[in-house]
Structure 1
Amino acid sequence: MQVKLNGIDTRYVLDNEGGGPWLTLVHQLGGDLSVWDQLAGYFRDDFTVLRYDVRGHGHTAVPDQPFSIADLSSDLAALLDALGAPHTHLVGMSMGGMIAQQFALDHPSRIDTLVLADTSAGTLPENRAVWDQRAATARRDGMASLVPATLERWLTPDFQRSHPEAVEPIHEVLLHTRPEGYALACEALRDFNVHERLHEIRLPTLTIAGRHDTGTPPAATQLIAKSIQGAQYELLDAAHLAPVEQSHRFAALLETFLEARV
């Protein structure tokens, strides 16, 4: 399905066989809503599961001007409005976790629970150049030049060898992400920083990190948990895409967390 949000044609998928509470899933940089296929299938009998492609990703349009994580938070609010969802359980991975944090600060009353996977509260000044370099590489050389190193960060070698059926779709989505959409998102991540505001979040929160994540070290996700009162922190035997690499364990953690609050 397509809907125009803040002037951007946006793709979304809604699985509401169960007609239960809303559960919204937000994907990583260089990904799209398909990364949640397995998790959506697990929860769709009990929840109204919403997935969508973030600006510049998948089948959502690439804007013609820069945007911020706050703009992506606004897109999510507009999507929930368009679908008549007053509030939702919110799960964000990597970039999606940053969008979820911003949304929790912008629209706290619209979140039932907050789940943040493999993410940080912002880019430190000394790391801003990394995002500039990735944006420049995407624009200059295309996405193929970024794929090998990205997959190395995202998934452990053992998982890549033993689960090619899971790796191939992720590879294809990353490879076919439009370079300008990727670059603009890199620049939004470069400028994102809510470290000093995390204490404002007063929501039931679960944070999950991958033990082998080199791109977003577990300490970054753990710091979020320490900064949000009552937040839970879990560490999985995975790299950056823990919800993919440890899908069953991730689903079990999410199920237990949600059951206690639904």
Structure 2
Amino acid sequence: MQLTINRIDTRYVLDNEGGGPWLVFIHQLAGDLSVWDQMAGYFRDDFTVLRYDLRGHGETSVSPDSFTIDDLADDLAQLLDKLGAPSAHVVGLSIGGMVAQKLAINHADKVDSLTVVGAPAFIPEDARPAFAQRAASVRENGTASIVEATLERWLTPEFRKAHPEVVEPIADTIARTPAEGFARAAEAVSRFDARDELPSVKQRTLVVAGERDVGTPHAASRLVADTVPGARFELLDAAHLTPVEESQRFSALLGNFLRDSS
């Protein structure tokens, strides 16, 4: 299914077998909505589950202009409006966790609860050039050039060896991501800083981090939990993609949190 959101043709998938409260999943940089397939299967009997592709990812068109994480949060707010969702439980992974934070800050009435997975409260000044370099490299060499290095950050060696059937589709998604879509999103990430605004978040909040995540060290995720009043922090034995690598523990954590939030 597609809708035009802020002049961007946006792909989304809606699973509403249960017809319950809305639950939105937001994917990672160089990912698409398929990373949440298993979670959608877990939750669609009890929730109206929405997954979608961010600008320049999956089957959503590439933004003609540069944008910010705030703009991505505005995209989601408009998507929820167009689909008739008054509000939703929001779960975001990596850049999706940044979008989720900004949605809770800028569109608080849209968020029933907030789950931030593998995402920091801000990008430090000294880390910003790395995102610019990554964007420039992908513009020159394409996203296929970053597949191996990305998988090494996202999943532990043990998981990659044991589950090639899971790793291969993720690798294909990275390689298929449009270079300009990735680059513009990476530049948006480099400018992200929600530290001053997070204390205003009133929604119940769960923060999940991977103990072996080198891209977003769990101390960076813990800062989100320490800054949002009353937030809960959970650490899983995984790298960056905790919902993939620790899917059973993640779904149990999220399920218990959502039941407590309803």
TM-score, with length taken from structure 1: 0.99
Aligned to 2:234: 234
Deviation of residue 203 (structure 1)? 1.0
Q: Which amino acid aligns with 1:205?
A: T
Q: Indicate yes or no: 2:224 matched with 1:224.
A: yes
> For residues 65 and 191 of structure 1, what CA distance do their matches in structure 2 show?
15
Deviations 1:191-212, CA, capped at 9 Å, x for gaps: 1111122111111000000000
Deviation of residue 144 (structure 1)? 1.7
Aligned to 2:139: 139
State the secondary structure of the residue aligned to 2:235.
strand
Aligned to 2:97: 97
Q: Which amino acid aligns with 1:236?
A: L
Runs of 4+ in 1 over 2 A off after TM superposition: none
State the secondary structure of the residue aligned to 1:260.
helix
> For residues 216 and 14 of structure 2, what CA distance do their matches in structure 1 show?
29
Q: Which amino acid aligns with 1:114?
A: L
Aligned to 1:172: 172
Deviation of residue 103 (structure 1)? 0.5
Q: Indicate yes or no: 2:77 matched with 1:77.
A: yes
State the secondary structure of the residue aligned to 2:261.
coil
Residue correspondences, number: 262
> For residues 166 and 29 of structure 1, what CA distance do their matches in structure 2 show?
18
Aligned to 2:25: 25
Deviation of residue 164 (structure 1)? 0.9
> For residues 164 and 146 of structure 1, what CA distance do their matches in structure 2 show?
18
> For residues 195 and 151 of structure 1, what CA distance do their matches in structure 2 show?
29
> For residues 248 and 43 of structure 1, what CA distance do their matches in structure 2 show?
12
> For residues 211 and 226 of structure 1, what CA distance do their matches in structure 2 show?
17
What are the ranges of 5 or more consecutive residues in structure 2 without an aligned counterpart? none
Q: Which amino acid aligns with 1:77?
A: A
Q: Which amino acid aligns with 1:118?
A: G
> For residues 52 and 93 of structure 2, what CA distance do their matches in structure 1 show?
13
> For residues 260 and 100 of structure 2, what CA distance do their matches in structure 1 show?
21
Which residues in structure 2 correspond to 1:176-215 (within 5 Å)? 176-215=176-215
What are the ranges of 5 or more consecutive residues in structure 1 without an aligned counterpart? none
Aligned to 2:58: 58
Q: Which amino acid aligns with 2:238?
A: A
Deviation of residue 5 (structure 1)? 0.2
Aligned to 2:254: 254
Deviations 1:142-174, CA, capped at 9 Å, x for gaps: 112111111000000000000111111111000
> For residues 40 and 122 of structure 1, what CA distance do their matches in structure 2 show?
28
> For residues 28 and 243 of structure 1, what CA distance do their matches in structure 2 show?
11
Deviates more, 1:85-94 or 1:195-204: 195-204
Deviation of residue 64 (structure 1)? 1.3
> For residues 198 and 130 of structure 2, what CA distance do their matches in structure 1 show?
24
> For residues 62 and 41 of structure 2, what CA distance do their matches in structure 1 show?
28
Q: Which amino acid aligns with 2:9?
A: D
Aligned to 1:162: 162
% identity of equivalent residues: 56
Deviation of residue 65 (structure 1)? 1.1
Aligned to 2:10: 10
The root-mean-square deviation of aligned C-alpha atoms, in Å, is 0.6
TM-score, with length taken from structure 2: 0.99
Which residues in structure 2 correspond to 1:87-126 (within 5 Å)? 87-126=87-126
State the secondary structure of the residue aligned to 1:45.
coil
> For residues 96 and 3 of structure 1, what CA distance do their matches in structure 2 show?
19
> For residues 108 and 65 of structure 2, what CA distance do their matches in structure 1 show?
28
